[in-house]
């Protein structure tokens, strides 16, 4: 089968492309405004990529067009497909029918921490010899690719609540039919498609409805939103994790080795490879989920020592003259606050210079703008790229006082960061996009800046 993927450079659709190719299909695709790591990963796999959505691509005689959720009506290629009655489907639907059917699916859902937790869980199964397939919204260091297909019955997937496609407004994760589910947390997000938190809770309720009776849900007991979801109905085994729950990890806010316990009994300790209380909770959820497929808690905890992180999650992009530049995907205020706090915990010395691009649809709408000052409060200086926003970033960040600066010009932002940075500083770049190659530009500017 020849499949042509519209929006192939998205993290999810790029993963679908890798899985389809591994399954023996001919794969091509198109996208616009591509950037690493997905564009690099596709090129390394020899997958043909067309720039843009010209309608002429409808002539390539694909057996199936797989349409990503970033593609809307009015897109020239999509309109040509519809007009000519060509076969099409969504990414989640194709994945469900051609990859997940008949497999034991372990799904990781939540507003935050999905990529990290999914990567940890996949590595725990891998280290235990279970050889899982997976699809992750990032590139984990232990594997070097965001997706792979194996002969194993186990498949680990990052379960996103965003909608499926232009023709299917259900959340992606309702297609996956998991047997093991992690519900990590749940906050309001995706303001472009959800009216409020209650609407997202309904989608999570729909996910819970797809888990079989002998399946297992591992849920964060500290989230009132998840308790409301599960109060609406739960037909599967349920295990809670978090302070005062059956699964616990301590200490949460120190650099000491993490101690994991089940029903009050310690089951293992490990020096965590990633800082922050949120990553300890992510690890705890993964340990609990891995146990459902036969990986003992002791084995799962021990495997964390070899976990190598994920690209774009506190990834060090380089150090120039004592100034370290990091790349992180954080774009929701909660994730921003956790990322800054995690870096502060790991690197108590030196200043944190936060460089932020409010790029997600929710952030562009300004729904979360009033929470930004608090989320950035622990940074020593904030540089916000405010191009293309529908709200006044300078006004929103005014509570930060002199340490908050806004820019409509990326070159000016880079120049100012380089000018104020000094040895020992940590430049924390946060965006869910390519951010105009700002990491390389910052490193180059730091190298040439006479003040460093």
pLDDT tens digits, 375-422: 999 999 999 998 878 888 889 899 999 999 999 999 999 999 999 999
Q: Where are the domains of the chain?
A: 2-91, 102-306, 315-448
- CA angle 46-51-54, nearest 5°? 125
Instruction: Provide the percentage of residues in the chain whose pLDDT is more than 70.
Output: 98
2-91 CATH, one of 3.40.50.720, 3.40.50.2000, 3.30.230.80, 3.40.50.300 = 3.40.50.720
2-91 and 315-448 in the same fold: no
Closest CA to 189 of 313, 365, 428: 365
Q: Which element (helix H / strand E) includes 338?
A: helix 333-346
- 194: confidence class by pLDDT, cuts 50, 70, 90: confident
CATH topology of domain 102-306: 3.40.1190
Reply yes or no on whether the pLDDT at 192 is more than 80: no
Cβ-count burial of 113 within 10 angstroms (0-12 exposed, 13-18 middle, 19+ buried)?
buried
Give the domain 315-448 fold: 3.90.190
Instruction: Please give the Cα distance from 430 to 313 (Å, whole number).
Output: 9
pTM summary value: 0.82
Residue 450's pLDDT is what?
65
Q: What is the pLDDT of residues 68-92, one digit of tens each?
A: 999 999 999 999 999 999 999 999 9
| Residues in contact with 165: Cβ distance below 8 Å, sequence separation at least 6, in sequence order | 67, 68, 69, 71, 90, 91, 92, 93
Residue 133, pLDDT score:
98
Provide the mean pLDDT of the chain.
Answer: 91
Neighbours of 116 (CB within 10 A): 28
What's the pLDDT at 203?
A: 95
Residue 36 has pLDDT above 70, yes or no: no
């Amino acid at each position: 089968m020849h499949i042509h993927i519209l929006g192939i450079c998205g993290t999810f659709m790029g993963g679908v492309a890798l899985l389809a190719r591994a399954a023996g299909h001919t794969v091509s695709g198109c996208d616009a405004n591509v950037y690493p790591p997905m564009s690099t990963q596709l090129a390394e796999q020899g997958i043909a990529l067309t720039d843009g959505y010209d309608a002429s691509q409808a002539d390539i005689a694909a057996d199936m067009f797989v349409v990503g959720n970033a593609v809307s009506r009015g897109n020239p290629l999509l309109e040509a497909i519809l007009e000519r009655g060509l076969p099409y489907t969504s990414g989640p639907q194709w994945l469900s029918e051609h990859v997940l059917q008949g497999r034991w699916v372990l799904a990781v859902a939540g507003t935050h921490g999905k990529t990290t937790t999914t990567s940890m869980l996949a590595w725990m199964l891998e280290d235990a010899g279970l050889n899982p397939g997976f699809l992750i919204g990032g590139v984990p260091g232990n594997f070097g690719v965001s997706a792979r297909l194996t002969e194993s019955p186990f498949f680990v997937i990052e379960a996103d609540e965003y909608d499926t496609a232009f023709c299917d407004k259900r959340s992606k994760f309702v297609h996956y039919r998991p047997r093991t589910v992690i519900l990590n947390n749940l906050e309001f997000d995706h303001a472009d498609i959800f009216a409020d938190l209650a609407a997202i809770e309904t989608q999570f309720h729909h996910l819970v409805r797809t888990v079989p009776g002998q399946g297992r849900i591992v849920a964060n007991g500290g989230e009132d939103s998840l308790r409301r979801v599960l109060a609406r109905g739960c037909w599967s085994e349920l295990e809670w994790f978090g302070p005062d729950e059956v699964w616990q990890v301590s200490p949460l806010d120190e650099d000491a080795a993490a101690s994991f316990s089940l029903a009050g009994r310690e089951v293992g300790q490990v020096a965590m490879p990633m800082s922050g209380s949120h990553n300890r909770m992510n690890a705890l959820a993964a340990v609990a989920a891995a146990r459902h497929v036969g990986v003992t808690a002791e084995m799962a905890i021990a495997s964390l020592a070899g976990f190598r992180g994920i690209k774009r999650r506190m990834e060090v992009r380089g150090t120039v003259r004592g100034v370290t530049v990091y790349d992180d995907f954080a774009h929701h205020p909660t994730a921003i606050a956790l990322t800054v706090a995690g870096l502060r915990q790991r690197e108590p010395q030196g200043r944190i210079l936060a460089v932020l691009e409010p790029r997600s649809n929710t952030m562009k709408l300004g729904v979360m703008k009033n929470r930004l000052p608090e989320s950035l409060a622990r940074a020593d200086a904030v540089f916000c790229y405010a191009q293309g926003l529908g709200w006044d970033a300078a006004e929103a960040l005014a509570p930060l006082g002199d340490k908050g600066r806004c820019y409509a010009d990326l070159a000016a932002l880079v120049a100012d960061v380089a000018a104020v940075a000094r040895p020992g500083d940590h430049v924390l770049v946060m965006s869910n996009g390519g951010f105009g190659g700002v990491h390389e530009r910052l490193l180059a500017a730091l190298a040439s800046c006479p003040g460093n």
